[in-house]
Amino acid sequence: MNRKTVSGIVVFLLLMSIGMVGSVGAVNDYDIKIEVIPSSVLQGETVTFRIHADLVGFDDSILDYVSIQGYTAPDTAGIFVWISGTAYSWHYRNELCPIIIDNGVPSEASDYVDVTFGTNAPDKDDWEPPSTTDVAGLYVVDFSGYLYMTDGSKHWFNIYREFTVTPPGEEWTGYTPGWWGLNAAKLLGISRGSPQLTMGEYQAAVSCVRTRWSSDLPWLPTNVEGAWAIFNAGPKNDPVVKARIQLLAFLLTLCHFGEDFAPMPITGPLGTFTLSPAGWATFLITHYNLGHYSDVYYYADKLNNY
């Protein structure tokens, strides 16, 4: 995988209070929290950088606020990236700024902002630079600027965040709870017929599901017998039971057949989403734990019949 150093978003944090003059500290005296959501995507998907007004390893009370005064963006649609030592040209835009990131949550501000990478839409949220994830590889984004402290000092920093872009795989094929339940019954001798996977393969899928997601879903089975019991649980009209059955089938399919598949677009009660298999797993588990059982049932059922 070729390394691609991206400076598609270079954030400058400048002082907004007139008359406040402070000394400049050394590079990275302090660090701020920048999340990468998610850290791996397929080509064409987006990555969100959530930039917080939160210090890492220090008491946040010493931080006053930051102001995003500008950013760099490519002159043409695409990423600002070095390839074999050659960089695309870029220019500085600041007419749509500033954007305040205050330490705390006053009525008209938030303690973080989201920057989306991969939209190829410079004015999507009034200030995001154009960018794409059309090229597979490792992307390293450089954030730089100033932190302004309550004692009047300011501190320059460079913060790097990485994410990977991988090529899409084949189209996803879902397997329903009926398929997984019937194969469990055949392997356990409950139903007649030849199973479409071995006991070892089924158990490996169950173990994979348990290892990856049991901390979020403690009800996940530990063996094939447990999986069969969930697929045959009742009452069948209980929304929790229905959500569990569909969710387990999806997770088993993901573990058994892998996740190197193209993103799947699904339209449902919460809107239309185009996510990778792993992205759908996170989506379903999050909404299950929020108690959105009918939504989980709806989306998982669509995925299992995809």
47-51, 286-290, 295-299: range with lowest mean pLDDT: 47-51
User: Do 11 and 132 sit in the same domain of this protein?
Assistant: yes
CATH of the domain at 30: 2.60.40
266 touches 302 (CB < 8 A): yes
User: Do 156 and 62 sit in the same domain of this protein?
Assistant: yes
User: Do 140 and 188 sit in the same domain of this protein?
Assistant: no
User: Do 101 and 238 sit in the same domain of this protein?
Assistant: no
Q: According to the per-residue pLDDT averaged within each range, which of 3-12, 44-53, 63-72, 250-259 is highest?
A: 250-259
In the structure encoding, which two tokens stand for residue 62, read together?
Answer: 């010493």
In the structure encoding, which two tokens stand for residue 146, read together?
Answer: 């100033």
User: Do 147 and 187 sit in the same domain of this protein?
Assistant: no
Quick check: is 172 in a domain?
A: no
- State the residue range of the domain holding 47: 3-166
**In degrees rounded to 5, what are phi and psi of residue 161?**
-130, 140
Residue 191 to residue 201: CA distance in whole angstroms: 18
Total domain count for the chain?
Answer: 2
Domain final position from 136, 166, 196: 166
155 touches 144 (CB < 8 A): no
- Does the global pTM surpass 0.85? no
Quick check: is 247 in a domain?
A: yes
User: Do 25 and 147 sit in the same domain of this protein?
Assistant: yes
Q: For position 67, what pLDDT does the model report?
A: 62
Going by their DSSP bridges, the two strands 47-55 and 112-117 should be labelled as antiparallel
User: Do 190 and 135 sit in the same domain of this protein?
Assistant: no
Condensed to tens digits (0 to 9), the pLDDT of residues 109-139 reads 457 877 777 665 444 444 444 566 777 777 7
Quick check: is 171 in a domain?
A: no
Distance of CA 60 to the CA centre of its chain: 26
Domain final position from 138, 166, 194: 166
User: Do 113 and 199 sit in the same domain of this protein?
Assistant: no
Taking only Cα atoms into account, the Rg of the chain, rounded to an integer number of angstroms, comes to 24
Quick check: is 49 in a domain?
A: yes
24-38, 51-65, 262-276: range with lowest mean pLDDT: 24-38
48-52, 196-200, 233-237: range with lowest mean pLDDT: 48-52
* Long-range contacts, stretch 228-232, CB < 8 angstroms, 24+ apart: 228/181, 228/184, 228/185, 228/188, 228/190, 231/177, 231/180, 231/181, 231/184, 232/181
In the structure encoding, which two tokens stand for residue 139, read together?
Answer: 């992307």
Domain final position from 126, 142, 166: 166
Q: What is the mean pLDDT of residues 221-234?
A: 97
User: Do 79 and 58 sit in the same domain of this protein?
Assistant: yes
